[in-house]
Chains A and B, each alone.
Chain A
Amino acid sequence: MLVLLFILFGGLAIGCAINVVAQRNPLYCAISLIGVFMSLACLYLMLAAPFIAAVQIIVYAGAIMVLVVFVIMLLNVEQEEKRRIRTGFLVPVAVVLAGLLIGEVAFVLWSVDPNPTLQSSDIGLTSSIGAALFTSYLLPFEITSILLLMAIVGAMTLARRTDVLSPEARVIPGAQVLALSDIDPRASHDVQTPIITDSSAEAAALLGLAGKRDQSKRD
């Protein structure tokens, strides 16, 4: 029974993985990848790891793939066009290396013996994972949290528009508070006077600095 389930989910995972590589449309790639994640979650259940299976579905199929599909649809990706293979002379090398890999896998399958057997235990349960995570593996856990914080900051820095605010900027949602030195660099001594406007051009006009700014550009 378990062998049948393994063949079912393993075959599903391999088929979906091959489909990920074979598809030309990235959206179909993403949906096939979700199939791989689902079948791997079923394999984790077979391996008595229900917590990891749930996290696999929630984090991978839920969060990461939603992000990927969102970016695919945001960027309006066209289909990958067919082109000549760049490294055609490497194809025989690749075939030989693939044969070597299959040989190694066959060696593992037939010669590694005796195999440990899977017995029922509670190591896959949430309580045992949490106990280990917050006692002996606390430092990797904290480092991971710092990594996530860095990822948040880095993603926002990379994805936002980095245009400098120009005096001609017209649409700025909400009122903003600018110091005088932000509008006129020469008035750097007066950083205490805030100006509340809806755009920097308006602020410059309020201060009578628009003409001066143009002069400074000409200089």
Chain B
Amino acid sequence: MEPHLSWYLALSALLFTIGVVGVIVKRNVIAMFMCIELMLNAVNLTFVAFASFFQDVTGQLFVFIVMTVAAAEAAVGLGIIIAIFRNRESLDVDDASILKL
């Protein structure tokens, strides 16, 4: 017996749900950021599973592009986090709810 495609899809859905829960529950900006990375990885697992089971390389190419977008997001997001921390001395999202300092 081998793992079916649906097993991978179920695992991916669970990981994505855990990531969504983290984004909603967490208050630290960096922790929310890491939960977003978790959601991206769950989607990547779906892409790779479909690509392997349907013998199509397109899914793996999209994983590649998603990884690049995640790297760009990490660079810009962490730059924003550093700017917020420099201005407000806090990483709590509730402290950064207004644009005015």
Binding site for B on A (CB under 8 A): 2-3, 6, 10, 13-14, 17-18, 20-21, 26, 29-30, 33, 36-37, 40, 43-44, 46-49, 51-52, 55-56, 59-60, 63-64, 67-68, 71-72, 74-75, 77, 80, 83, 98, 101, 104-105, 108-109, 112, 115-119, 121, 123-124, 128-129, 132-133, 137, 140-141, 144, 147-148, 150-152, 154-159
For B7, the closest partner residue in chain A by CB is A6
Given A40-B44, A52-B64, A128-B57, also A20-B72 (CB < 8 A): no
Contact B2–A2 (Cβ < 8 Å): yes
0/1 string, B47-84, CB within 8 A of A gives 1: 01101111111101101110111111111101111110
* Distance between Cα atoms of A48 and B57 in the complex (Å): 11
CB contacts (< 8 Å) of A156 on chain B: these are 79
CB contacts (< 8 Å) of A37 on chain B: these are 41
Contact B34–A33 (Cβ < 8 Å): yes
* Distance between Cα atoms of A35 and B37 in the complex (Å): 13
* Distance between Cα atoms of A4 and B89 in the complex (Å): 47
CB contacts (< 8 Å) of B22 on chain A: these are 20-21
Contact A68–B60 (Cβ < 8 Å): no
4 other A-B residue contacts (CB within 8 Å) besides A47-B48, A129-B57: A60-B37, A129-B60, A144-B65, A158-B76
Contact A129–B52 (Cβ < 8 Å): no
CB contacts (< 8 Å) of A52 on chain B: these are 44, 48, 60, 63-64
Given A14-B18, A46-B3, A47-B8, also A21-B35 (CB < 8 A): yes
Given A30-B34, A71-B81, also A49-B60 (CB < 8 A): yes
Contact A133–B64 (Cβ < 8 Å): yes
Binding site for A on B (CB under 8 A): 1-11, 13-15, 17-19, 21-22, 25-28, 30-31, 33-35, 37-38, 41, 44-45, 48-49, 51-58, 60-61, 63-65, 67-76, 78-83, 85, 91
For A72, the closest partner residue in chain B by CB is B30
The 9 closest A-B pairs by CB, nearest first: A151-B72, A158-B79, A155-B79, A21-B22, A47-B52, A155-B75, A6-B3, A159-B79, A115-B4
* Distance between Cα atoms of A46 and B4 in the complex (Å): 12
Given A52-B63, A108-B9, A129-B57, also A152-B82 (CB < 8 A): no
A-B CB contact pairs (8 Å), 12 listed: A14-B14, A17-B19, A21-B18, A21-B22, A43-B11, A56-B67, A64-B71, A71-B78, A80-B26, A112-B6, A115-B53, A137-B58
